[in-house]
Amino acid sequence: MDICKTPENASKCSMNTMECFMVLSTQAQKISIATLCGLFGTLCVFENSLVLYLIFSSPGTRRKPSYLFISSLALADILASIIFVCSFINFHVFNETDFSKEMFLVQLGGVNTSFSASLCSLLLTALDRYISISRPSEYKLLMTRKRAWIALGVLWVTCAIIASLPVLGWNCCTLNSTCSELFPFVDESYLSSWICFVVVLLGCIIYAYSHVLWRAHQHVAYMEKHQVQVGKQNTRMRMDVMLAKTLVIVLTVLVLCWSPALVLMIYSIFARLSDHLRQVFAFCSTLCLLNSMVNPIIYALRSKELYSSLRTVFSRFRRQLKASEESPEAESTHKSSIIET
């Protein structure tokens, strides 16, 4: 009987059983995973690095708490893409097992920390917008830069502590308990706790954005009903409609990217997974990376301030290229080429 299919193998911690978690059986599956991770990871690092540059290159944006939260989101997504792509491809594509249990749990903790910090940054962004629309007159008093930095510090420390628990001893090898079918050395009770943590985060994000969306809908309905100052109301209505569209995109992408992997994680706690379902989970995991790639487009580049900064950067780059083409060296080279001709 195959050791990977025996019920007792769920509680074994030998490095030999690492091969049981390498579920990609064909070369086509490995190439597909490598292509998806490479594409999503490269775009994710480029887009989020651009967002960080745009935010911190402008004094006006880097002082605002809302952009501090977007910066935290971009940083978390960069770390998530780098750690996830390197460890995921190394394990599932190249089938590397030449590392200790502690090293594997450290890599898994890095992925866990970065993805959790990404979700927590989304939550802080959602709460920031929730406060701005529910208590606009008190927003500047409630959301200061000091409080924003404190919130970010608590966020990252909490995510790092939760992610390091398996390395510190909450794993199935140390406790001699049942291991997860999806992650080597991970205790099922820890996986259940982490799933609850993520589900609570997602629920709070959805609640906050649903409230903002409802307030935007109320503003649109009010302005359509009481059209007194037409110009001002039309401008405000366009802003509310744009905000509503953005929030619909936010919630749709968030749910579509995270729900497949979470559903399979929850299912693995209550039932045994077939090899096919574990292969599906491997591909669904890349959707979390896709979410990190889409985040800067939704949260940052739809911002008027960052979009204008991006246009300024591109126009400056275009002027530099034009200046380099019209430099004396370029002209002399052009003239000498004409003479030679």
CATH of the domain at 67: 1.20.1070.10
User: Quick count: other Cβ atoms within 10 Å of Cβ 171?
Assistant: 24
pLDDT given at position 247: 67
Number of residues assigned to the chain: 341
Contact 173, 185 (CB under 8 A): yes
Render pLDDT for 134-177 as a digit per residue (tens, 0 to 9).
Answer: 787 888 888 899 999 999 999 999 999 999 999 999 998 888 88
Report the C-alpha gap between 114 and 122 in whole angstroms: 12
Containing domain of residue 197, as a range? 24-308
pLDDT given at position 46: 93
331 falls within a domain: no
Report the C-alpha gap between 292 and 78 in whole angstroms: 8
Report the C-alpha gap between 178 and 171 in whole angstroms: 9
Contact 73, 118 (CB under 8 A): yes
Pairs from 206-210 (Cβ < 8 Å, separation ≥ 24) = 206/251, 206/254, 206/255, 208/123, 208/126, 208/127, 208/129, 208/130, 209/126, 209/129, 209/130, 209/247, 209/250, 209/251, 210/251
The answer, yes or no, to whether residue 16 has pLDDT greater than 60, is no
Q: Residue 285 is encoded by which pair of tokens?
A: 């995991």
What burial class does residue 8 get, using C-beta atoms within 10 Å of its C-beta: 0-12 exposed, 13-18 middle, 19+ buried?
exposed
Confidence of residue 14 (pLDDT cuts 50, 70, 90): low
336 falls within a domain: no
Render pLDDT for 174-225 as a digit per residue (tens, 0 to 9).
Answer: 888 888 888 888 999 999 999 999 999 989 988 888 887 787 777 667 666 6
56 falls within a domain: yes
318 falls within a domain: no
10 falls within a domain: no
pLDDT given at position 94: 86
39 falls within a domain: yes
**Is 0.95 surpassed by the pTM of this model?**
no
Residues forming beta bridges with residue 96, ordered by sequence position: none
8 falls within a domain: no
Residues forming beta bridges with residue 187, ordered by sequence position: 179
pLDDT given at position 207: 87
Render pLDDT for 237-287 as a digit per residue (tens, 0 to 9).
Answer: 455 456 556 667 877 888 899 999 999 999 999 988 888 899 999 999 999
What burial class does residue 236 get, using C-beta atoms within 10 Å of its C-beta: 0-12 exposed, 13-18 middle, 19+ buried?
middle
pLDDT given at position 31: 93
In the chain, the number of structural domains is 1
Report the C-alpha gap between 248 and 123 in whole angstroms: 16
338 falls within a domain: no
Nearest to 115 by CA among 10, 15, 265, 276: 265
Nearest to 217 by CA among 243, 196, 192, 191: 243
